[in-house]
A = this chain, B = another copy of it.
Amino acid sequence: MTYDSWSLTEERFEEEFLARSESLFSIGNGYLGFRGFFCEREPAHHPGVFINGFYEISPIHYGEDAYGFARFNQTMVDLPDCRYLTVTVDGQRFDMKSVQVDEYRKKLDFHTGMLSRTVRWTTTEGKKVVTTWETIISMEHKHVGAVRLQVSCASDARISVSSSIAMPASRAVAALDPRVGTMLNRPSLTSLGYRLLHDDDKHPIGFEGAFKTVESALHLTCGALHECTLSASVETRTEEDGPPSLVFMHEGRSLELCKHFYYLSAGRPGESFPLETIRKGKFGRACTRWHDLVASQRNHYIQFWEHALVTVEGDEKIEQALRFNLLQLHQSTGTDGMSSLAAKGLTGSGYEGHYFWDTEIYGMPFFNHTDSKTARALISYRISLLDHGRARARDLAQRGALYPWRTINGWEASAYFPAGTAQYHINADIAYSIFQYLAITDDLSILTEGGAELLFETARLWYDLGYFNPEKKGLFCINEVTGPDEYSALVDNNAYTNLMARYHLGHVCSLARRMRRDMPDEWNRITKVLNLQEEELEQFAQAANMMYIPFDAQRGITLQDDSFIHREKWDAAKRGPIKHPMLLHYHPLVIYRHQLLKQADTVLAMFLLHDAFPWYLRKRNFDFYEPLTTGDSSLSACIQGIMAFDCGYVSLGDAYSRQTALMDIDDLHHNTKDGLHTAAMAGSWMALVYGMAGYRMVDGVPAFRPQLPGSYRSVSFSLSFPSSLLHITIDRQRTVYQVKGTPRTIRHRSETVVVGSEAISRPTRATCKAVIFDLDGVVTSTDEYHYRAWKRLADAHGWAFDQEVNRRLRGISRMQSLQVILDHNGVTLPTSEMDTLCELKNRWYRASLASLTPQDILDGIVPLLDELRRRGIATAIASASRNAPYILGRLGLEKTFDAVVPAHEVVRGKPDPEIFARAADLLGLYPEECTGIEDAQAGVDALREAMMRTVGVGPAVNAADCDAHVDSTGQLAIDLLLF
């Protein structure tokens, strides 16, 4: 099978897959969207036509109601279809099911966003006909689209085309699946009347209708004008209360008809619009020429792809999928500041057209880096609804503003608050995306246009929501919330929420300082408008500083929330294998009770707040949560993929990235029919950029850490900054950076580089920047000293201890060592006593160390250190021994190493990679830029976990686990270390 990188094509019509195909072949311009249904609307699954943010409301009924529950649902409205055309040849009306189809081809073109269909078919009388439909929704003129229909016959025929406005069919109420949503079981629109449109010669050339939504009172006018190349005869049909139609008839071999349609909606309830003006203005002139429209569209997409294009050499399927995803994302995203990006965009009615946090957390990174105007418009949309957020906070008895979990018009539309309103994190998600936008664009104007008010009002909510909990040492706790993982609800101290709230509170404090300094007038205005006192900012800072983040000291992991670790693990023996998605097979009480995740939660926080977690903690958390993450949410795979790359799990990262990229094209979640997963589409870009390329913005500098999975030859993409367009290509050997515009400082792993118009190339794989030494057995040998001290302790207590047991103490901490000895003797002691004994042993051991001298440095180490220094390779000590500084001093090496990891700060000892990762951190390096030297198996295991080149010394380690192995330190040649 081959995949075209610049189009998606379907060459077989299968009714079974019709629904999915309609979603995949959707076209739109962010304002107006058509699912990819046939112009003749038959057969069709859901011939959906949508305007972004055009909705109907209906009361939400609760079997058991309560104060503050969301009152009205909002549903994106199915609009009248002005593209509607039917073709009849010799009296035989065409549709895919009733005629003999000889050849079929449906295509979405990525260069133009054009949806075309060509059908070769044979009439019952045996006439061969070719029919082509081409549809474009204009990117230049958002109210406008056109369809060009060409019919040609092998011999003369009576060709007729009927054109009208089709009214949406009412759709069945959906079943249990909450992802589908409750559809309205009544018409959403009432027609206000139709009229025919005529040209200057009073010939009918089109029609239009005016409509109003029944409850939300939004107005819509839509219609179409026609251009027929041949002098076909035109018949007009009108019905009482129904849309009129035009029928174009021609006897001959061909007919070509161009139908230009338009949709004009009022943006807010009750609003009307200067209809004639708009139509006579832009639409009347520029948009009624098909070729102009195509040309304008092509130009638009040249611009778009200049910033958004990704290439993937070696996997054309993925390349196609990624480009398809970005095109669809682009087509679905509102750019007018009055709409946003719905969960299914404009491609289906799943989730009822609601906007969620998807926009901010999944969509914004793409827009921030390829299309900052759109990013700004999305922020403006949120700003415009700040008053709704304020009112909602009042409903919840809170200060400040609380954004709705799901909405179109700014009011909360979530009918199930435990997985809705309780997701307070939406406030921080929005704030995060604005701060990210500012970091990338430095566009301060958004602050004066309501952005600052939004940021402070939403921050206020946090301070009011949480409190300094005396039961948690006075730390700031936020209780009774739901995090991104909706398989846990109403928990205390969701780590994601608290971390994001900390970020939010911390950043508004910085913002306040900056505004006071750089925008004093605006700052004065804001503080007055918001009655924002200095004291309140201090409170924000205090809450941020004192924020409680649940942590499991024993496992050394961040806990998803206070109760997560107490949930039961899924016991397949008891309950059978998990049925997915769980939300369709288990009561929420069953789901909430188990240690399972719908989607990345803490892992997502580690991606967004990269700096808040050292690498070893990110990895440890990922290792803990990854097996518990069901991925039942389509938002999960991209984040798990990015963080898998971060941990060095390249093939796992690749697998997740592919899942995200192919989510809809391969219909992996079996619900593409309800619309495309826009967050996953944006996520597929993130998986490439943040995952494979390892991109992060670190202190204002774009930093990269490329890891190319084995199946790709190369990947490339661009990131756009205010005055620079940075292009990155990663192949197996090299990573190439090039900037169009102002040169820009970037980081390639730990190296800082200034990139200009000339391509700069760096090895894709990491190179060795440092060597990290274990101390005992590598730099010197204190084994015997340890042995003697332990032996003395054991003898004093009458415990068995010999060299055999001693070998098991290599590389582990003092306390762990004592435990080994106690276990060996079947003895249990209270911790306090063990502390005392460790102290005793250490006193004996330290006393004996006094006899160490530089002579005790092991063979070959001194020249090796000299050589490393000569070559500019950094060095560090990663030893579990708290005596390391003392020993180094006795050896005269106290100033030799660039870093010595403070052993007492290490939460988990070897074989956990923490200590080595800390060493790399101290040196400002990524772990994969380091080589480690170890003489103990636990140390070797730790190094492998740390992704470092592993060099083993001596007989106590398994040589097969090492990248290189020597029998003694004297053999440690430098070439064994470098890479």
Contacts and interface: CB of A to CB of B under 8 A. Distances in A.
Nearest to A465: B593
A588 B63 contact: no
A596 interface: no
B176 A63 contact: no
A895 interface: no
A70 B479 CA distance: 28
B588 A66 contact: yes
A397 B63 contact: no
A419 B566 CA distance: 22
A399 to B, nearest CB: 9
A65 B178 contact: yes
Contacts of A464: 574
Given A480-B589, A567-B479, A575-B397, A63 B489 contact: no
A345 to B, nearest CB: 21
Contacts of A584: 67
Given A562-B563, A590-B396, A592-B480, A73 B63 contact: yes
Interface of chain A: mostly helix, strand, loop or mixed: loop
Contacts of A574: 464
Contact of A414 (B64, B65, B420): B64
A835 to B, nearest CB: 8
Given A477-B566, A490-B592, A66 B396 contact: no
Contacts of A86: none
A65 B64 CA distance: 13
B395 A587 contact: yes
A858 interface: no
Contacts of A414: 63-64
Contact of A63 (B182, B480, B567, B587): B182
Interface string A401-416: 0000000000000111
A73 to B, nearest CB: 6
Interface in A421-469: 421-422, 464, 467, 469
A756 interface: no
Contacts of A906: none
A417 to B, nearest CB: 7
B66 A397 contact: no
A176 B563 contact: no
B588 A64 contact: no
Nearest to A468: B568
Contacts of A568: 467, 469, 479
A471 B395 CA distance: 38
Interface string A59-98: 0111111111110010000000000000000000000000
A775 to B, nearest CB: 30
Contacts of A485: none
A51 interface: no
Contact of A586 (B397, B479, B585, B592): B397
Contact of A61 (B63, B422, B490, B492): B63
A871 interface: no
A565 interface: yes
Nearest to A464: B574
A415 B176 contact: no
Contacts of A67: 176, 583-588
Given A415-B63, A490-B490, A562-B563, A397 B590 contact: yes
A904 interface: no
A418 interface: yes
A203 interface: no
A155 interface: no
A517 interface: no
Nearest to A493: B566
Contacts of A285: none
A563 B479 contact: yes
Given A66-B178, A178-B65, A575-B397, A588 B417 contact: yes
B64 A415 contact: yes
Contacts of A670: none
A59 to B, nearest CB: 9
A33 to B, nearest CB: 24
Given A64-B414, A178-B66, A472 B566 contact: yes
Q: Assembly of this chain: how many copies?
A: 2
A624 to B, nearest CB: 14
A855 interface: no
Contacts of A471: 565-566
A832 interface: yes
A464 B574 CA distance: 9
B589 A415 contact: no
A469 B70 contact: no
A836 to B, nearest CB: 10
Interface in A136-171: none
A586 B394 CA distance: 10
B492 A490 contact: no
B421 A589 contact: yes
A489 B584 CA distance: 23
A524 B335 CA distance: 74
B416 A66 contact: yes
Contact of A417 (B62, B65, B395, B589): B589
A73 B471 CA distance: 42
B62 A589 contact: no
Given A67-B586, A575-B397, A583-B67, A62 B416 contact: yes
Contacts of A63: 60-62, 70, 73, 182, 414-416
Contacts of A69: 587
A492 B595 CA distance: 13
B415 A418 contact: no
Interface in A31-73: 60-70, 73
Interface in A563-577: 563, 565-568, 571, 574-575
Contacts of A417: 587-589
B587 A396 contact: yes
A418 B397 CA distance: 21
A422 B589 CA distance: 7
Contacts of A489: 490
Nearest to A68: B587
A398 to B, nearest CB: 8
Q: Which among A68, A73, A477, A593 has the greatest number of chain B C-beta atoms within 10 A?
A: A593
Interface string A928-954: 000000000000000000000000000
A472 B563 CA distance: 12
B586 A492 contact: no
A35 B568 CA distance: 50
Interface string A637-659: 00000000000000000000000
A120 to B, nearest CB: 46
Given A567-B479, A568-B467, A593-B479, A420 B64 contact: yes
Contacts of A588: 66-68, 417
Interface in A538-573: 562-563, 565-568, 571
Contact of A66 (B176, B469, B492): B176
A416 B589 CA distance: 12
Interface in A461-507: 464, 467, 469, 471-472, 477, 479-480, 489-490, 492
A909 B585 CA distance: 53
A62 to B, nearest CB: 7
A70 B588 CA distance: 12
Given A477-B566, A566-B562, A589 B64 contact: no
Nearest to A831: B832
A490 B589 CA distance: 8
Contacts of A176: 65-67
A282 to B, nearest CB: 40
A377 to B, nearest CB: 29
Given A63-B415, A414-B64, A416-B66, A397 B587 contact: yes
Nearest to A179: B64
Given A480-B567, A480-B589, 11 more contacts: A62-B62, A64-B178, A64-B416, A65-B178, A66-B176, A66-B588, A421-B589, A464-B574, A467-B568, A467-B571, A562-B566
5 contacts: A62-B182, A66-B178, A68-B586, A479-B563, A562-B566
User: Can you list the 5 inter-chain pairs with the closest CB atoms, starting with the nearest?
Assistant: A63-B415, A68-B587, A64-B416, A60-B63, A64-B415
